[in-house]
Structure 1
Amino acid sequence: MTIRERTEEIERMTLSPFAALSEDSSGRAVQEQPCPMRPCYQRDRDRIIHCKSFRRLKQKTQVFLSPEGDHYRTRLTHTLEVSQIARTIARSLRLNEDLTEAIALGHDLGHTPFGHAGERALNELCPEGFRHYLQSVRVADKLEKYPDGLNLTWEVLNGIACHTRGAEAATREGRIVKYADHIAYINHDIEDAITAGVLHPDALPKEAVRVLGKTKSQRITTLITSLVEHGGEEICMAPEIEAQYEALHDFMYSTVYVDKIAKKEEQKVERVIASLYDHYLQRTEEMPIQYQHIAEQEGQDRAVTDYISGMSDEFAIRAFETLFVPKSWSVY
């Protein structure tokens, strides 16, 4: 018996009947020889951590564009917080922690530079529209190690595709990640907004604070506990807890996410993204070779969208400056 087979046996003996067992995976698009040590979902997690798109998340905006300070969240720190919350829930419910972690770590691989402002800009420019969760699947399925992709299991790709509001993931592990994503971003965005001075703690909805807790830690604990206590056959919270979470969510979208101070730089994002998009649409030969191949096979708009969405904030700004900002020069 290999180490992997022993681990799969432990899964059968210890995990919930509702868990997605590694040995029952629907498999990969391209069949591979199983790893002698790692079950398939652990292998997927490792592939995601080692890929280039995952590393670029460290320089992609979460909410605040180009914040001054080291303590604001980036897309990478957000991803790690989602993973931690999701794993806690999965372990408590005896679900597959490897699958949960793989989905959580991969859920934002396709996110744009400049956060949701960049996503909105690309959605306007790309004829097919743009949704970061579908782009995350495309990154994993094709753009990483182009054109082969990471060849992840079906369950991981399904969880990534279904991590936002809308379609439910096929596995409970995928549904956990959707909740973990929401729990993480609302609470860390509150903390970042308070740090940035655009939100006072006393401004939070009083009933939500009473039910969920006054601090970030208290609120996250309350939400996780509710999911664990009510997470049997379905993944859900107690109605009162969910209602107050929604109240907190609505409050953030009506105040912080539209705050003039927090979002004052976003008006520039559309110009940066649109300028880069138009430039590379007319000059696809200036993009890296893999995107030139995509332009030939799937069209220029698809290639330019793939290229820009993969940029970090810093890279996009440097590209814009190189292309459109005049440089000083000397006459000798």
Structure 2
Amino acid sequence: MIESFDIRERAEAVERTSLSTWAALSGESKGRDRYEDPDPIRTAFQQDRDRLLHADVFLRLAGTTQSFVPAEPTAQVLDVVPPWRSRLAHSLATSQLARTIARALRLNEDLAEAVALGQSVGAPPFGVAGEHALAEVATAGFDVGEQSLRVVERLVRDGRGLNLTWEVRDGLLHQTWPRSHAATHEGQVAALSTWVAGSLHDLTGALRGELVHLDDVPAEVRTGLGAGHGTRVAAVVTSAVQASAERPEIALTPPVEAALGTLEAFLDERVHGRPEARAEAGRAAHCLQSLAIEGATNPESLPGRDGDVTEQRVLDHLCRLTDREARSAFTERFLPRG
């Protein structure tokens, strides 16, 4: 009969013998801020993945938008399938894309998945529009990676945090792409995956909502990535594997990277840059910035510890809200009730 502690040790041994020399090994993690006895069954990165997956701050992402663009649905399918994804749906899709790339490169899938799942736990309401709004009012600007790290280290579990491994926390902090500065290949894979998933899902949503048509998409994108969502995902995965195998950093092949850049510019102009989208983003910014000013004026109304800087307490409070909660708070505080 196999003792339970042998399961984790066997998994760590499999990692040592089967993963790439560039992979992060769970048995050689730099550890946690507070020591914990090893789990008898799960590796350290599996534990981190599970802690993030079951945290309230992760489940909250079901109520926040990933890309805050109003659609004008005309296709009947939209009655069943909404065109714009929540942060939760985006995070789950990102984590699976990260696992696929990590497995193909013989990297640590559990670490890549954990970083991908946690990248948005510090995101404010209203998607990218909300991020830009807070960046304009915060003295030091606003970075989702920094806020996500603060959430998992200091805010959840009554300030005790999730006590994640160093490798996961490093990946959360360095999530921008291109060329993530994450110390691990897995963190870089997660950064690439969240960028790719965002662009590809925005295109799918725009096509489904009939804001654009496939013929409108630049030929470079249709040729380099494909005409269907599955084809585009496969093209990116293949590109990442070809460009990154046995190399010191994660990359894409030049044609696919160029096609994604063209797609991003196209979405900025034809989808996010539409007058309706800009107007809605402006309303979202007004909502959050008004709540930020009100919180700074009345810090006693904010949750959190009195010793924290007021501006940080404001950001922490706003980043706990869902889109609906932010709208409700704005209505309660600033609209007449007559």
> Shared fold (TM-score greater than 0.5)?
yes
Paired position in structure 1 for 2:14: 10
Q: Distance in 2 between matches of 1:151 and 1:93?
A: 28
Residue 90 of structure 2 contacts residue 197 of structure 2 at CA under 8 Å; is this kept in 1?
yes
Paired position in structure 2 for 1:150: 162
Residue 206 of structure 2 contacts residue 271 of structure 2 at CA under 8 Å; is this kept in 1?
yes
Aligned: 1:269 with 2:279:
no
Q: 2:314 aligns with which of 304, 325, 329?
A: 304
Report the RMSD for the aligned CA atoms in angstroms. 1.6
Q: 1:314 aligns with which of 295, 299, 324?
A: 324
Q: 1:214 aligns with which of 221, 227, 233?
A: 227
Paired position in structure 2 for 1:42: 46
Residue 167 of structure 1, CA deviation: 4.5
Residue 253 of structure 1, CA deviation: 2.0
Paired position in structure 2 for 1:282: 297
Q: 1:95 aligns with which of 94, 107, 114?
A: 107
1:314 alignment partner, SS class: helix
2:279 alignment partner, SS class: coil
Paired position in structure 1 for 2:259: 244
Q: Distance in 2 between matches of 1:39 and 1:216?
A: 34
Structure 1's unaligned 5+ residue stretches are none
Q: 2:23 aligns with which of 6, 11, 19?
A: 19
Paired AA for residue 52 in structure 1: D
Aligned: 1:205 with 2:237:
no
Paired AA for residue 261 in structure 2: E
Q: Distance in 2 between matches of 1:45 and 1:202?
A: 40
Q: Measured at CA, do residues 211 and 92 of structure 1 come closer, stay the same or move farther in structure 2, by a change above 3 Å?
A: same
1:38 alignment partner, SS class: coil
Q: 1:161 aligns with which of 155, 163, 173?
A: 173
Residue 69 of structure 2 contacts residue 272 of structure 2 at CA under 8 Å; is this kept in 1?
no
1:298 alignment partner, SS class: coil
Q: Distance in 1 between matches of 2:234 and 2:155?
A: 37
Q: 2:205 aligns with which of 163, 187, 192?
A: 192
Q: Distance in 2 between matches of 1:152 and 1:110?
A: 15
Aligned: 1:59 with 2:63:
yes
Aligned: 1:177 with 2:177:
no
Q: Distance in 2 between matches of 1:254 and 1:306?
A: 32
Q: Distance in 2 between matches of 1:229 and 1:271?
A: 44
Which TM-score applies when normalising by structure 1? 0.93
Paired AA for residue 274 in structure 2: D
Q: Distance in 2 between matches of 1:145 and 1:309?
A: 16
Q: Distance in 2 between matches of 1:270 and 1:206?
A: 34
**CA deviation string 1:155-194 (max 9, x = no partner):** 0011111111364111111111111112111111001112
Which TM-score applies when normalising by structure 2? 0.91
Residue 28 of structure 1, CA deviation: 0.8
Q: Distance in 1 between matches of 2:205 and 2:277?
A: 10
Residue 65 of structure 1, CA deviation: 4.9
Residue 87 of structure 1, CA deviation: 0.4
Paired AA for residue 263 in structure 2: L
Q: 1:122 aligns with which of 117, 134, 141?
A: 134
**CA deviation string 1:106-162 (max 9, x = no partner):** 011111101111111111111221111111111111111132211111100111111
1:198 alignment partner, SS class: coil
Paired position in structure 2 for 1:85: 97
Residue 162 of structure 1 contacts residue 174 of structure 1 at CA under 8 Å; is this kept in 2?
yes
Q: Distance in 2 between matches of 1:15 and 1:27?
A: 20
Using the TM superposition, name which of 171-180 and 96-105 deviates more: 171-180
Paired AA for residue 283 in structure 1: N
Residue 198 of structure 1 contacts residue 261 of structure 1 at CA under 8 Å; is this kept in 2?
no
Residue 193 of structure 1 contacts residue 199 of structure 1 at CA under 8 Å; is this kept in 2?
yes
Residue 308 of structure 1, CA deviation: 0.6
Paired AA for residue 101 in structure 1: E
Residue 109 of structure 1 contacts residue 139 of structure 1 at CA under 8 Å; is this kept in 2?
yes
Q: Percent identity?
A: 39
Q: Measured at CA, do residues 195 and 25 of structure 1 come closer, stay the same or move farther in structure 2, by a change above 3 Å?
A: same
Q: Distance in 2 between matches of 1:268 and 1:321?
A: 13
